[in-house]
Every structure is written in structure tokens, then in C-alpha cells.
């Protein structure tokens, strides 16, 4: 058989194969990651919140053609999370029975994200939207904002006060997201109880000083139950952020 004909047939087969095996979202510049921590404490109440939030969030995402990636930090595969994504990553950096009162929870979320990025290879310039899985998108505002600003390095909102960017929902270029995580000092965060929100704001400030494009917004259009381990549990106590 003619060598040129063989080459043409091989390229045609390769193209057809890659198109069939490449999910539409894999060609986009935006990825949506939901984080999860299925701890024992208030498990049933928290599970109900996750289900409610995942249903609402996946409705918003699917209307735009997205399927989220989900990262679970405590449990092993499978869980009910598999019903909401074909890509659930079980990082197993924490244990379900850990005591949240004595633990800086942001550390485990960061460790889960590190393991996730080690296993999923995205383009450096992809925009990563991170949303806490118990929270949900009220509408498609934030996703569309990120889609219109894929040249931005970070998009976030202030948390409780200046110096703290909200980690419940933010977006950052993949290369900077991974760099920020790699530079976290977990021992210092635990010993001095430095929250992930402060580390995020500090990194974003450095990006801005270096000339990076940073967008701060007043609302991310997310409903969140900001339950703290030191407070009485109040299910469905959602705040609009």
C-alpha cells in the first residue's frame, strides 16, 4: 500500500478517535471544580445540603454545557457524589472522623486540590473555577463572567474584611492556582491558625503587584451555609454572596 495513503488513513483514524474520546469540556478554557469533605459530624444534615447544592449547581452548569469535577477529601470511592459527575476524585487526605475544632480545615482543602492537580493535567492558562460543594450557584453570572475574562489571572471577592479573599468561590489561572498551593506552609497555617482565605488574598495581591489582571467583584451569586465547627449547626442557613 502507498505510504502516503497509509499516513492519510492513520491521521483520519486518529482524528476520529480523539473526537470521540474527548469530552466537549476538555476543549474549553474554563474548568469547574467542586470540593467536598464528607465528615462524620452532622453527616446526614451535610449530605442533604450537598445533594441540594449539587442539584442546583449542576443544573446551572449543564445549561452552559459544563460537567463539574468533584474532589472528595475524606471518603473512599464510591459515594453519592458519583451521581453528579463522571469525574469524582477521592483525594483521601483526611479522615471522616477528624475533629474540625482542632484542625484548620483550609489545609485539607488545599491538600486535596494539590493531589487533584497532580492527577489531572490542564493547560496552564485554563481558568479554574473553585466552588465549595455545599454551596451553590444562584445563576450563571460567575461562570459567564469568567468566560468573558479568560485573560484574567484571578477573579474573587473579599470575604469578611480586606485581607481575606473568599475561598468559597473564586477563579484563577491554572498555573497560578498550582503555584499558590505549592507555596503554602501548612505547619505555619496550623500553628498560627492562618486561614486559606488570607493566603488566597496574599497571593492575589502579589499577582496584582506583578502586573497581573485581577478582578474583584462585590457578589459571586452563590448561596452558602457558612457553618463553622465552633458554632451550633444550622442547616439551610444560606447567605447570598
The alpha helices in the chain, defined as continuous H runs, are 3-21, 43-63, 105-119, 141-148, 174-182, 186-191, 196-209
The pLDDT of residue 61: 98
The pLDDT of residue 6: 41
196 vs 168: CA distance, rounded Å: 10
CB-based burial, 167-204: b 16+ in 10 Å, e otherwise? bbbbbbbbebbbebbeebeeeebeeeebbbbbbbbebb
Beta-carbon count within 10 A of 231 CB? 9
pTM for the structure as a whole? 0.86
**241 residues of the chain, pLDDT tens digit each:** 454 444 333 334 343 333 333 344 445 699 999 999 999 988 998 999 999 999 999 999 999 999 999 999 999 999 999 999 999 999 999 989 877 677 888 999 999 999 999 999 999 999 999 999 999 999 999 999 999 999 999 999 988 778 899 999 999 999 999 999 999 999 999 999 999 999 999 999 999 999 999 999 999 999 998 765 555 667 677 888 9
The pLDDT of residue 222: 97
The pLDDT of residue 231: 58
Where do the structural domains in the chain lie, given as residue ranges?
Answer: 29-231
Fold for 29-231, please state it: Spore Coat Polysaccharide Biosynthesis Protein SpsA; Chain A (3.90.550)
The pLDDT of residue 101: 73
User: How many residues appear in the chain?
Assistant: 241
What's 222's DSSP letter? E
Amino acid at each position: 500500500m502507498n505510504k502516503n495513503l497509509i499516513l492519510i488513513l492513520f491521521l483520519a483514524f486518529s482524528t476520529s478517535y480523539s473526537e470521540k474520546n474527548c469530552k466537549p469540556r476538555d476543549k474549553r478554557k474554563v474548568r469547574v471544580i467542586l470540593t467536598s469533605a464528607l465528615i462524620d459530624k452532622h453527616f446526614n444534615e451535610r449530605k442533604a445540603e450537598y445533594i441540594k447544592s449539587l442539584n442546583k449547581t449542576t443544573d446551572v452548569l449543564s445549561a452552559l454545557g459544563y460537567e463539574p469535577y468533584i474532589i472528595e477529601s475524606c471518603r473512599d470511592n464510591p459515594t453519592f457524589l458519583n451521581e453528579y459527575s463522571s469525574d469524582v476524585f477521592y483525594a483521601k487526605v483526611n479522615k471522616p472522623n477528624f475533629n474540625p475544632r482542632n484542625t484548620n480545615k483550609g489545609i485539607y482543602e488545599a491538600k486535596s486540590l494539590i493531589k487533584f492537580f497532580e492527577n489531572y493535567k490542564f493547560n496552564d492558562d485554563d481558568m479554574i473555577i473553585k466552588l465549595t460543594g455545599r454551596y451553590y450557584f444562584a445563576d450563571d453570572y460567575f461562570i459567564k463572567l469568567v468566560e468573558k475574562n479568560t485573560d484574567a489571572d484571578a477573579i474573587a471577592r473579599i470575604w469578611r474584611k480586606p485581607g481575606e479573599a473568599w475561598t468559597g468561590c473564586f477563579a484563577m489561572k491554572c498555573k497560578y492556582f498550582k503555584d499558590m498551593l505549592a507555596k503554602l506552609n501548612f505547619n505555619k497555617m496550623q500553628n498560627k491558625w492562618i486561614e486559606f482565605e488570607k493566603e488566597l488574598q496574599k497571593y492575589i495581591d502579589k499577582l496584582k503587584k506583578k502586573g497581573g489582571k485581577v478582578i474583584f467583584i462585590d457578589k459571586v451569586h452563590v448561596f452558602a451555609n457558612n457553618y463553622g465547627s465552633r458554632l451550633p449547626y444550622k442547616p439551610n442557613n444560606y447567605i447570598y454572596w
